[in-house]
Amino acid sequence: MKRIEGISIENIKEWLEGIDKFNATPEQGAGTTRLVFSPEEIGARDYMKSVMREIGLTVEEDGIGNIFGSLEGTKPELAPVWSGSHIDTVLHAGMFDGMTGIVAAVEALRAIKDSGERPQRTLKAVIFTSEEPTRFKNGCLGSRAMAGELTYEDCERLTDDQGITLAKQMEMLGYRKEDFSKVCKKQGDVHAMVELHIEQSEKLEQKNLQVGIVKAITAYRTMMFHLKGKQDHAGGTMMSIRRDTVCAMAEIISAAERLAKETGRYETVATVGKIDVYPNATNIISGDTSFSLDLREDDREVQMQVLGKILDFAKKVTKERGIQMSYETFYDDLPAIASPHILSVIEDVCEKENVTYQYMRSGAGHDSQLVSRFAPYAMIFIPCREGISHNPAEHAKYEDIVTGTKVLYETLRQLANEEVE
Ligand code: GLV
Ligand code: MN
Ligand code: MN
């Protein structure tokens, strides 16, 4: 990379480490936990808003807390170009998933501003509200509302583990119901969205490549299953008469793993990551158990076939065991195909700047997936160590973030100078 030299590794490091100070699990080895609208997450938001203001961006927030830092173009009547990601994390996460994309966007805008050039279109660094589904069980809340796929009634329904609804939490923070309807975007409102993110897989590192150009994000469905059997005594209840929901769950989990593997496709992934066993005691047969299912596939048809098989199996097992089963779907996001035009801009930048790259798909979900419903998008991936993510050991090299940010900078510059819609 020779031509673009204006990206500051010091800013990237300072801002990523600055955000990471807002952490609900600061104990050694516990990683970073920053759930949406927690005191830590609000602290991180305030910190990045002050960074944005310091470098001369105009800061605004919408009715669900999406934050925009704008660098006004010479033709502000044209649709803006967006770049950004999320600042919330899963439980015991690393410090790069999401935050890298925010810091890269802010640094790219700073570098464009300080270069003295003013592109035609306004550029916006965006911090999306709650990409992770950890607190309110639904993910991409900010971008989902922008896409019109999250209504205020949904916000009144979604609750956290303490029983607080998303709507109540927003109200407590001063987000007004009347501003919620203005969050939704329509086609044409945004010229282009480019999100930089760590890869969360190991391909770039293994091939020693600097950048992944993401051409599609996988279909992503999350459900919760509820099993009702009979709570009973672990000593006095014969095996033959039990209605044990934990055993039924164990069978269904094993089947989900087997059925996902049986497609023979690496794109099929099924995960049970959350289990609630009531009352959760060594000597009680549980009669009330819930568990999640996260099922992803690039091919929607294959995803639905696997789901059908898991459901058939679950119905059979619960019937045999005298257990009632119900389930709910929290979200069911279709695959998102990136814009061929933005992909070609990113590829040209990589070619001209001697950045090594490959095209790839994303098995992880991103706000771009929801933004794709109303605007053209593409993503830039950078390597992360051993592909590890959603883990305190998640790590990306600052030099790699700088390279990705240079590609982002030049891509945003070019897109912001495009006149035609
Ligand atoms: C987002 O973090 C995901 O689970 O893909
Ligand atoms: Mn994540
Ligand atoms: Mn992420």
Ligand 1 pocket test: which of 271, 366, 367, 389 has the largest number of ligand atoms within 8 Å of its C-beta? Answer: 366
Ligand 1 pocket test: which of 222, 296, 390, 391 has the largest number of ligand atoms within 8 Å of its C-beta? Answer: 390
Q: Return d(Cα 165, Cα 233) in angstroms, integer.
A: 36
The ligand 1 atom at the shortest distance from the C-alpha of residue 98 is 2
Q: Return d(Cα 332, Cα 138) in angstroms, integer.
A: 10
User: What is the bridge-based pairing of β-strands 269-271 and 219-228?
Assistant: unpaired
Residue 365 in contact with ligand 1 by CB distance below 6 A = yes
Give me the residues paired with residue 224 across strands: 292, 328
From the list 354, 341, 338, the residue with the least C-alpha distance to 407 is 354
Q: Return d(Cα 257, Cα 271) in angstroms, integer.
A: 8
Rounded distance from Cα 291 to ligand 3 centre (Å): 23
pTM over cut 0.85: yes
Q: Which residues surround ligand 2, an ion (CB under 5 A)?
A: 97
CB 243 within 8 A of CB 325: no
Residue 88 in contact with ligand 1 by CB distance below 6 A = no
**What are the pLDDT tens digits along the chain (421 aa)?**
445 669 999 999 999 999 999 999 999 999 999 999 999 999 999 999 999 999 999 999 999 999 999 999 999 999 999 999 999 999 999 999 999 999 999 999 999 999 999 999 999 999 999 999 999 999 999 999 999 999 999 999 999 999 999 999 999 999 999 999 999 999 999 999 999 999 999 999 999 999 999 999 999 999 999 999 999 999 999 999 999 999 999 999 999 999 999 999 999 999 999 999 999 999 999 999 999 999 999 999 999 999 999 999 999 999 999 999 999 999 999 999 999 999 999 999 999 999 999 999 999 999 999 999 999 999 999 999 999 999 999 999 999 999 999 999 999 999 999 987 5
From the list 24, 69, 72, the residue with the least C-alpha distance to 47 is 69
From the list 90, 106, 104, 83, the residue with the least C-alpha distance to 38 is 90
Residue 333 in contact with ligand 1 by CB distance below 6 A = no
The ligand 1 atom at the shortest distance from the C-alpha of residue 389 is 2
Identify the nearest ligand to the CA of 90 by its number. Answer: 2
The ligand 1 atom at the shortest distance from the C-alpha of residue 364 is 5
Residue 364 in contact with ligand 1 by CB distance below 6 A = yes
Residue 132 in contact with ligand 1 by CB distance below 6 A = yes
